Structure 1
Amino acid sequence: MSLINIRNLGVVRAQPLFSTLNFTVNAGDRIGLVAANGRGKSTLLQCIAGTVEPSEGEITKTRGLLVGYVEQNVPSALHSLSFYEAVLSALSPEQIETESWRVDIVLDMLDVPEALRGQQVMALSGGWQRMMMLAHVWVTEPDVLLLDEPTNHLDLGKIAALENWLNALQRDVPVIIASHDRAFLDAVTNKTLFLRERQSPLFSLPYSRARSELARMDASDAKQFERDMKTADQLRRQAAKLKNIGINSGSDLLVVKTKQLKERADKLESTAKPAYQERSAGTIRLTNSGTHAKVLVTLDNVEVCTPDGRLLFKTGQQFIRQGDRIILLGGNGVGKSSFINLLRGAIERPDHQDPGIKATPSVVLGAIDQGLNNLRGRDTPMEAIISRFDIGDQKARTLLAGAGINLDMQSRPVERLSGGQKARLAMLILRLADPNFFVLDEPTNHLDIEGQEALEQELRDKEASCLLVSHDRYFVHAVANRFWMIDRKRLIEVDSPDEFFLQVT
């Protein structure tokens, strides 16, 4: 049963985001919406939700259809409310009077602890804010659910819980999900829409299989375009020969034939479809300054504790060697971030380092935390570059443009950039620091799939030595060659992350 029909939809901002978009949303659809940063995913969801008017085309919905849109950011009106109050506020006054019990049912369904329900929204972690937004929408019992980057800030446990919840939904409730989390899309979708400026293809397949089909389709289009251009060139050559013969012989028939050949070549060139080329959201490149040291960091039974001294875990004796790409696995609250901060402090301030952490003097650290705190919100991208590195304005502008931050954006405060632009700016700063050891905490946050794959490729190709924390299962499998897991207050090495992934799911 068709619930939403989208016909010839298009949106133009500074440039066209998408056009001639046609598809239907049927009962039971689980549609993954895939595109690079800034290519219109959120805008399309807003058009379907009715909060943004498209530039062209139309969206028709069945009478009385209620669309629930879970946006990325928490509205400021909810910041001062408690978790419970924020969800309750989605109901009408009449419903609050007689049906407030619906809030408890939804919070129980999403496994929200009692202790969190009274906490102020602005004091919640990013992950719990995402879950609050989902509850805020779901309590209204929508007929269609729109999710915009729902796994941002979620740990693996919450991602698994969200996957299970979505897969347990009534099958007639369609869901459209804009996401860069490839494993999540594979787990919860049955269709994939690749949003493009023109001719956005839709496949009745989850992401990975759809991506393979898309690659085959694009390759076929490229070959057909090459054949068409070759044929058009041959027709023009043939027309040129006949023209010469016709002029010399005075044959009107050959003149007509020449004209026909040229018309066929013109038509073929005008109708030929070039292979699709994705406009990059900005390049990601890394450097590896290298070192002759074989062992970069030695851990000798380091105790990782909370600020008040409570033991989280002990490292035992561990070594980080050149070429190691180590993923640090563990649930929330076990001490991953505390360990990362301890390690960074020992390298950046060796005079205050933990006696159990020994870093070779040649280590040059490159670090990114999940909050991108190496970016100061009021700095412009230009200031962020030239205040750190001895490069001229022109080179800084060129580097920023290559990272997807155009001239107009270069003079705006960093806090006004999108999440994807901030992530690429942080990666550019990382590159210019020329490190030989990377400590990266959730580096794929806010990166689109193109950016994630570029980062994966750079870490492998540069043979980067790194310690990584990531909840991105695709990224973990693509990058890591060693796996550390925090288990029962001990840091142990495991052969694969799969056992840990199974535990949290």
Structure 2
Amino acid sequence: MGSISLRNVTVLAQTPLFQDLNLVIGERDRLGLVAGNGAGKSTLLKCLAGLSEPTHGEILRSRGMRIALVEQDVPEALFDLPLHEAVSRALPPFERDGQEWRVDVVLDEFETPLDLRERPVRALSGGWQRLALIARAWVTEPDALLLDEPTNHLDLEKLLLLERWIASAAGSIPMVIASHDRDFLQACTTKTLFLRPENSVSFAHPYRRARDLLDAHDAALADRNEKDRREIKRLRQNAGELRNVGINSGSDLLLTKAKQLKNRAQALEEGLQAVHKERSGEIRLANRGTHAKVLAALENVAVRKPDGGRLFEIPKLEVAQRDRIVLLGRNGAGKSQLIRLLHKAMSAADGQTGIKVSPSVVLGYTDQDMSQLPNKATPLDFILSTFRLGDQKSLSLLAGAGFSIEKQQQPIAKLSAGQKARLGLLALRLSEPNFYLMDEPTNHVDIPGREQLEAEILSSDATSIVVSHDRSFVKTIGTRFLVIEGTKLKEVDSPEVFYKAMGADAPPR
């Protein structure tokens, strides 16, 4: 199996991404890698795989160790290949003819339907494309596996399948998993590294226990810094007083003592450690409020596929003020179709048959891909033209959301998925809605951003209908839970009913 050892590993960009990492990743270790968007997770994974070199320090791998890295994006060369062929191409050319059975074994492990195996990768869902990349890595029989955001685009069913696979088939080899999904990290990791530009922190625990320990670590550091700053101030005051008395009295002894106190204060100051602050920007929401008690009412509404086929019926549904409804269902059940139908009904002047919307509703809408954003515009142009807040205010708002001046002036199409998500959520806030309609709003948002979004949804007290596969997010924000079962929509008391039906445990609290 082997191991990977990091010794004083540092990567510098314009500023340090991380520095002085000392870590050993050994047999059966499954390390969760946690950091904000753009904080160096992908860079560290490439260094571990030997695809990039750190600025300082060294990474030692066991002799002959084969490391497979699963990156976030599908290589362009794979899109037109059938799935089976795309996985087969991961094998060395001399192994493909005699070892193709390995491809079928791996695809069986991921419960891949036979009809998908000959379908071009381009025609697969985002979730199956992710699993295809993992299958390509696994078929090479690596000694260590590195996963970069493996849950992106996975619906709950595939996410749980991946959790089971990691726990069983892949459980014996060293793994490093970079993810923003807190429940996935909790289920799949044994250790956690919080990657930071100043002082990264690691714990020999899965995510939730590690997070508690990190919060305690940060609180203790902040408390110690505050005590040291008070001591520094006292020492300098005393040094100043002794120096004045020494000068006036001509006492070399007092001057020496004053210098000693000053040196002690300087040593304490140099020993202060910076308290970590997330650099990815804040997420905030707004709620302009309304006096209406019922904001939307649906009666005898049929939700249909794009081709017109019927998915399910809604006999009656009322959305009252302050309801936070979470829509649950298997992949393809029609969750996104209902969100689109409601968006159309709330946006169209003539409404939609069977859907009544209060005239006071001001809608805030996001879809999974933030397709409401104009790709050719820059973030600054988009905010300026849409909300007309003036140059300085727009610049300030974008900076607060984590956009540097350079990023503010790049085309939106060139932004990362995480940056697009933050821009979409900023626009959502600036529209000041009283009704939020959100399809997978946490897609590509880092853990600090997800926690901010949860807090904002709760504090803004706005009415919302949300689709999400993030179990922690669902549990935190939901007040009502609707499950699509076959051709029916029914309300349940908690999401655990649905999760248990899917074979998942309730998220730990």
What range describes the TM-score normalised by the shorter chain of this pair?
over 0.9
Aligned to 1:438: 436
Aligned to 2:455: 457
* 1:59-94 alpha-carbon deviations (Å, 9 max, x no partner): 110111000101000011111111111100001111
Report the alpha carbon displacement of residue 489 of structure 1 after superposing the two structures with TM.
1.3
Aligned to 1:344: 343
SS of equivalent to 2:386: coil
**Which piece of structure 1 moves more, 245-254 or 22-31?**
245-254
What is the identity, as a one-letter code, of the residue corresponding to 2:371? N
Alpha-carbon distance in 1 for matches of 2:170, 2:37 = 31
What is the identity, as a one-letter code, of the residue corresponding to 1:493? E
Q: Does the Cα contact within 8 Å between 1:8 and 1:57 map onto a contact in 2?
A: yes
Alpha-carbon distance in 2 for matches of 1:247, 1:469 = 73
What is the identity, as a one-letter code, of the residue corresponding to 1:330? G
Q: Does the Cα contact within 8 Å between 1:305 and 1:313 map onto a contact in 2?
A: yes
Alpha-carbon distance in 1 for matches of 2:158, 2:473 = 18
Aligned to 2:178: 178
Alpha-carbon distance in 2 for matches of 1:469, 1:240 = 63
Q: Does the Cα contact within 8 Å between 1:28 and 1:172 map onto a contact in 2?
A: yes
Aligned to 1:121: 121
SS of equivalent to 2:387: coil
* 1:298-350 alpha-carbon deviations (Å, 9 max, x no partner): 01021112233322111121100110000001001111111111111111114
SS of equivalent to 1:100: helix
- Structure 2 residues without counterparts, runs of 5 or longer: 504-509
Superposed, 1:190-209 pairs within 5 Å as 190-209=190-209
Aligned to 1:492: 490
What is the identity, as a one-letter code, of the residue corresponding to 2:341? L
**Which piece of structure 1 moves more, 126-135 or 410-419?**
410-419
Number of aligned pairs? 503
Q: Does the Cα contact within 8 Å between 2:2 and 2:143 map onto a contact in 1?
A: no
SS of equivalent to 2:377: coil
SS of equivalent to 1:291: coil
Alpha-carbon distance in 1 for matches of 2:287, 2:265 = 51
Aligned to 1:108: 108
Aligned to 2:507: none
Alpha-carbon distance in 1 for matches of 2:373, 2:100 = 42
Alpha-carbon distance in 2 for matches of 1:483, 1:214 = 32
SS of equivalent to 1:65: coil
* 1:14-55 alpha-carbon deviations (Å, 9 max, x no partner): 221111111011101010000011000000001111112211
Q: Does the Cα contact within 8 Å between 2:278 and 2:448 map onto a contact in 1?
A: no
Correspondence 1:80 to 2:85? no
Aligned to 2:406: 408
Alpha-carbon distance in 2 for matches of 1:299, 1:362 = 17
What is the identity, as a one-letter code, of the residue corresponding to 1:284? I
Report the alpha carbon displacement of residue 2 of structure 1 after superposing the two structures with TM.
5.8
Aligned to 1:297: 296
Alpha-carbon distance in 2 for matches of 1:383, 1:233 = 47
Correspondence 1:420 to 2:404? no
CA RMSD of aligned residues (A): 1.4
Correspondence 1:382 to 2:407? no
Report the alpha carbon displacement of residue 239 of structure 1 after superposing the two structures with TM.
2.3
SS of equivalent to 1:185: helix
Report the alpha carbon displacement of residue 171 of structure 1 after superposing the two structures with TM.
4.1
What is the identity, as a one-letter code, of the residue corresponding to 2:320? R
Alpha-carbon distance in 1 for matches of 2:141, 2:114 = 22
Give the structure-2-normalised TM-score: 0.96
Correspondence 1:474 to 2:450? no
**Which piece of structure 1 moves more, 314-323 or 380-389?**
380-389
* 1:373-401 alpha-carbon deviations (Å, 9 max, x no partner): 10122221122223322232332222222
Alpha-carbon distance in 1 for matches of 2:60, 2:145 = 16
Aligned to 1:271: 271
Report the alpha carbon displacement of residue 252 of structure 1 after superposing the two structures with TM.
2.6
Aligned to 2:225: 225
SS of equivalent to 2:398: helix
Alpha-carbon distance in 1 for matches of 2:428, 2:172 = 46
Superposed, 1:311-350 pairs within 5 Å as 311-350=310-349
Aligned to 1:29: 29
Aligned to 2:259: 259
What is the identity, as a one-letter code, of the residue corresponding to 2:470? D
Q: Does the Cα contact within 8 Å between 1:367 and 1:440 map onto a contact in 2?
A: yes
Aligned to 2:141: 141
Q: Does the Cα contact within 8 Å between 1:21 and 1:198 map onto a contact in 2?
A: no
Is the alpha carbon distance of 1:335 and 1:170 closer, same or farther for their aligned partners in structure 2, counting shifts above 3 Å?
Answer: closer
Alpha-carbon distance in 2 for matches of 1:264, 1:336 = 63
* 1:386-441 alpha-carbon deviations (Å, 9 max, x no partner): 33222323322222222111211122111111111101110111112111101000
Identity fraction in percent: 51
Alpha-carbon distance in 2 for matches of 1:371, 1:99 = 38
Alpha-carbon distance in 2 for matches of 1:261, 1:341 = 68
Superposed, 1:35-54 pairs within 5 Å as 35-54=35-54
Report the alpha carbon displacement of residue 367 of structure 1 after superposing the two structures with TM.
0.4
Alpha-carbon distance in 1 for matches of 2:252, 2:405 = 58
Is the alpha carbon distance of 1:346 and 1:229 closer, same or farther for their aligned partners in structure 2, counting shifts above 3 Å?
Answer: same
Report the alpha carbon displacement of residue 7 of structure 1 after superposing the two structures with TM.
0.9
Is the alpha carbon distance of 1:170 and 1:398 closer, same or farther for their aligned partners in structure 2, counting shifts above 3 Å?
Answer: closer
Alpha-carbon distance in 1 for matches of 2:461, 2:202 = 37
Aligned to 2:57: 57
2:396 to 395, 398, 401: 398
* 1:85-144 alpha-carbon deviations (Å, 9 max, x no partner): 110000111110210110000000100111111111111111010010000111001000
What is the identity, as a one-letter code, of the residue corresponding to 1:299? L
Give the structure-1-normalised TM-score: 0.97
* 1:267-292 alpha-carbon deviations (Å, 9 max, x no partner): 22222324x22233111111111111
What is the identity, as a one-letter code, of the residue corresponding to 2:206? P
Is the alpha carbon distance of 1:229 and 1:2 closer, same or farther for their aligned partners in structure 2, counting shifts above 3 Å?
Answer: farther
Alpha-carbon distance in 1 for matches of 2:233, 2:381 = 51
- Structure 1 residues without counterparts, runs of 5 or longer: none
